[in-house]
Structure 1
Amino acid sequence: MDDTKELWDRTLAEIQSMTYFHQEAGKVASVTHQSQYEARTSLINELYLKRLKAFAPRKILSMALHNDSWLRTRITYSRKGLINQHLKEVKKLANQDVEELVDVLPMISEYDIGQAVRVVPLIFSNDRTKGFIQTTLQHGELEARDKYHLSKRQFNRKVNDISRYCSKHRGEIRQFIPNTEKQQLLANRLKKLKTMLLLINRDDDYSVQQLMYSDCKFWEDTIGEIPQVQYQYYLLHDYSHSEDKTAFISYINEQINQLEEQLRG
C-alpha cells in the first residue's frame, strides 16, 4: 500500500513537471482567476480523481516520462471540466443576481398580485372600490373586512359584484394587463446579458467565447442588432481578438438598463 502511494506521488509530480500540464494549468488560472499554484492543484486533483485513479500508477508514470498523447488528452479533459464547472457557477451567480430584481421568476403569484394592484386604478374610478380591491389583494380577506367593516356575507357579495363587472368589461380590461409571457422573455434575456457582462468585467475572454457558443443563435441575433459592430463573425467566433468589443459592451450595458427599467414597470 505504501509503495503504491509513493509511486502515485512520484507519478503525479512527474505529470506536474510536464510542459503541457503547465500550459493547461495556465488556462485554468486565466479563466478562474486562481493563482498558478491553485490552478495546478485543482488540475492535478481533477485529473487524478476523475481520470487516472483507476489505472496502475507505473503505467501512468511511463506515459508522463514519454509525454504520451493519451495522457495529454486526459489533462485537456480535466482542464475543460474545471472551466465548465467555473462557467456554470458564474451563470448561477448571475441568475441569482437577476432573480433578486425580477419577482416574476421565483414568485410568480406575488408578481401577478403586484401587477393587479397597479392596474386597479386604471379599471375602477370609485376610490372605495379601488381601496377595497388593493387591500384584499395585498393583505387578504380578514384585513379587508376589518378595514371596511364588512361581514363575511357582505365581503363575498362585494367580491362577486367586482367579478361580474370584470367579466362584463373583460375586453376593455385586457389592454391594461401586462403580458406575462413577454415579461418572462425579457427576464430571460436580462439573465443572459448579465451573465455575459459578469464574464466581460472579469476579463474572462475564454469563458465569454464559451458562453457565446453555448447559445450561438441568441448571441448571433444580439450582435446583429448592434449597428456599430463592423465584423460580426469575428466578434462571435474570435472574441478575444475582436475590434468590436467596445461597441458590444456598450450595447449590453444599454440593454441591461432598459430591461431592468421595463421589468420594474
Structure 2
Amino acid sequence: MLDRLNIGGRLAAGFTVLIALILALSACLIYAETVGGAALTTVIMKENNAILDHVARASINLYIAQTWRHLATDEAEDAETSRSVRQAVQKNIDKLAASILDPGRRARAEEMGALVDGYADLADRLARVKADAGLGSEEARTIAAKMDEVENRLDVVAGELERAIVGTAVQTENDARSELKLLSWGSMALAALSVVLGAFLAWRIARGITRPVRAIASTMSAMSNGDLTKETPGRQRSDEIGEMARAVRAVEVFRDNAEAARAWRGKPGRNARARPNASVSSKI
C-alpha cells in the first residue's frame, strides 16, 4: 500500500498512524484517570457511609442505655440527656439515609429511624405506666417486652445495613483495582505497539526511499565512469523517485547513442574505406 504513495504521502501516512496511536494512548490514560477518580470517589463515599452508620448505631445504643437510666432514676437531668441523645440519633440517621444512594439500603436506614421513633413512644408510655402502676405491673412488662423486640430489630437492621455498606465498599474497590489494572496493561501494550509500529514505518518508509535513490545514483555513477550497460531502475514507479528515474532516461538515450557510435566506429572495413579516399585526395 505504501508503494502506491508518493514520498509526501508515505510520510503523511506514517505520521497519521503514529498520531492516531498517540491519541488512542492519551484517551486510554484519560479514561483510566477518570475511572480511577470515579472509583476513588465511590470508595470514599462508601467509607463515609460506613462511618455514618457506625455513628448512628453508637448513638442508638447510647439512647437506649440513657432511656433505661431515665426510667430507673426518674432524674430530670437524665430526662433532658435522653431528649438530647434522641435528637442526635435522629440527625445521625437522617445524615446516613441522605448519604446512601442505593434505594434498598436507604430504606433500611429509614427503617432504623422509624424503629427509634417507635422505641421512643414505647419509652414514654412506660414512663407514664411506671408513674401510675409501677414497673412491676402487667402493662409495664408488656411495654418493656415490646421495647426489647424493637431493640432486637434495630440490631438486625443495623447489622444488615453495615454489612451491605462495607461489602459494597470492598467490592467497589476490588472492581476499581481490576479495571485500573486492565487499563494499565492496555496502556502499556498500546505504548509498545506505538513504538514497534513507529519503528517499522520509519524503516519501511526510509527503505522505500533510500534503496531506489541509491540504485539510481549507482547507475548514474557507473555511466559517468563509462559503464553504459546498467539500466536505470524505478522508471515504472509513480512517485518522485519514478520521476527521477524517468529524468535519467535522457541520459540513457545519450548512452544508447554513444554505444551506437562506438559500435559503428568499431565495424570492420570502415577504416579501409576511409583510407582509399585519403589516397585519392592526396593524388588530387
Task: Sort the TM-score into its range (normalised by shorter chain).
Answer: under 0.3
Larger Rg: 2
TM-score, length basis structure 1: 0.27
TM-score (norm 2): 0.25
Higher helix share: 2
